[in-house]
Amino acid sequence: MDWRPNRADKKPIYKQIADYFEQGISSGIFPPDSMLPSERALAMELQVNRSTVVAAYEELQSIGVVERKKGSGTRVSADIWGISHKRIPNWGRYVEDGSFLPNLPLVQRIRKETEKKELINLASGELASPLFPTEQFQKILSEQPFTGHLGYDHPQGNMVLRDTISAHVKEYKDIDTNASSILITSGAQQALNLIVQCLLKPRDAVAIEDPSYCFSLPIFQSAGLRIFHLPMDKHGIDPDDLISLHRKHRIRMVFLNPDHHNPTGSVLSLARRKRVLELSAEFGIPIIEDDPYSLTTFDGKVNPTLKSMDHNGNILYISSLSKIVASGLRIGWVIGPPQVIQRLADAKQQVDFGHSVFPQWIANEFVGSKHFITHILALRKELKRQKDVMTASLNARLSEQTEFIVPKGGIHLWCKLNENVNEYHLLEESMKRGVAFVPGSIFGSKKGYVRFTFGRGETHLIREGITRFADAFYSIQQL
């Protein structure tokens, strides 16, 4: 056998062996009813443990291409191409070969663990259900009967809703736009995905904040983009870092979350916003402004968005109702030049034939009503209270062991661990004690940080969650 497994490959050795034999069986190198090498002989030839060969052969048996009998060895199925044989697809290979990359295993693990009701969830980036405007929605549904049509809507989204959003962003964010420059999306995440897929090509260089929202990173990687990082401080990115990156790599697009950034909570200063816009105009680089949190500012003073300061049409602006109204509503939007919006709308129509009618209808009724500002004022007040509870709890239990900048809005707190603690071991110990957070390193290159979401927990759960986290932290320190 000339073939050998590639030990530098991330794919497990046993899977490489199974794939090699499956391909050989499919191509006829190993014909039906022929014997495969014994486990011991193959292990010696490939210089692997016998258990690795056993695992490979069991994989082949599970998909129906070999038969194994104790004492008789492993044989290619005699009827593999026959009428009576039902062959199972190798779904494992299909899953691994897909071009759309999965979330990081740790992200998947946290998501699975937070499904447990007994676990205090300080990890998930969403509002707690008591913060949803459920009563207002119920009132709308009881007072405003649905009178819309049930067919496919406009590719860019419902015209009435787009007009409402146009008025909404003018009133609250001083953005001048109109319905033709707006696309309704399934939250901000779909907007981001459409932009990457439609406006960029593999090997394009993009600049993102470091750290950045972890659920966006697989989108960039799946598209084959070259990702370059812009370090952050308490005032956001340093625009001068963009100059050096562009000179070296010819940056095609920049992705920023200027207000109450996820995960750090930082706010891009006004001077830096102006400089970012100057550089965008100088280099001709479009800026993607992701703005899920600006209306949550605790003192009510909403910073000028990059889009509101943009006089050249360089900014694609993304926002949604997910972080300020309800994540399950799945209403987001992109604002940009009409030709870009039409391109994104065409792609969205290929994916889902346009947005669902009912969420658009109730979103329009809510955003265009007096209920919206009443809800936002209450939300700011409650989020500030939950933030205060979290910061007080951290100061009470871990004042010497942690550092953090108190956020002025949003739903996240970015916490630096002053002790040399393995954040993954800390997560495991914390989940054993019934609390989840997100390790900082999955957001980028910085280690020794954790992200807590205070918007997700009620105040008594926040206190208890930080107590459990502190107990986990001290137990790890004693090891």
DSSP string over 422-472: -HHHHHHHHHHTTEE-EEGGGGSS--SEEEEESSSS-HHHHHHHHHHHHHH
Q: How many domains does the chain have?
A: 3
User: Is 438 inside a domain boundary?
Assistant: yes
21/88 same-domain check: yes
Residue 81: what pLDDT? 63
CB-based contact 223:202 (threshold 8 Å): yes
Q: What is the DSSP letter of 413?
A: E
Residue 457: what pLDDT? 76
Residue 87: what pLDDT? 59
For residue 468, what are the CA distances in angstroms to 427, 431, 471?
11, 9, 5
Cα distance between residue 358 and residue 177, in whole Å: 24
297/184 same-domain check: yes
Which helix (H) or strand (E) segment holds residue 417: the answer is strand 412-417
271/244 same-domain check: yes
Cα distance between residue 439 and residue 107, in whole Å: 10
For residue 169, what are the CA distances in angstroms to 189, 194, 291, 369, 416?
19, 21, 11, 14, 35
- Last-in-domain residue among 369, 390, 406: 369
- We report the CATH number of the domain holding residue 443 as 3.90.1150.10
Residue 368: what pLDDT? 94
Low-confidence ranges of the chain (pLDDT < 70): 80-88, 90, 92-93, 479
Residue 78: what pLDDT? 81
Cα distance between residue 179 and residue 356, in whole Å: 18
Residue 85: what pLDDT? 55
Residue 144: what pLDDT? 84
Which helix (H) or strand (E) segment holds residue 391: the answer is helix 370-398
Residue 84: what pLDDT? 53
44/115 same-domain check: no
CB-based contact 295:376 (threshold 8 Å): yes
Structural domain that includes position 110? 105-130+374-477
User: Is 452 inside a domain boundary?
Assistant: yes
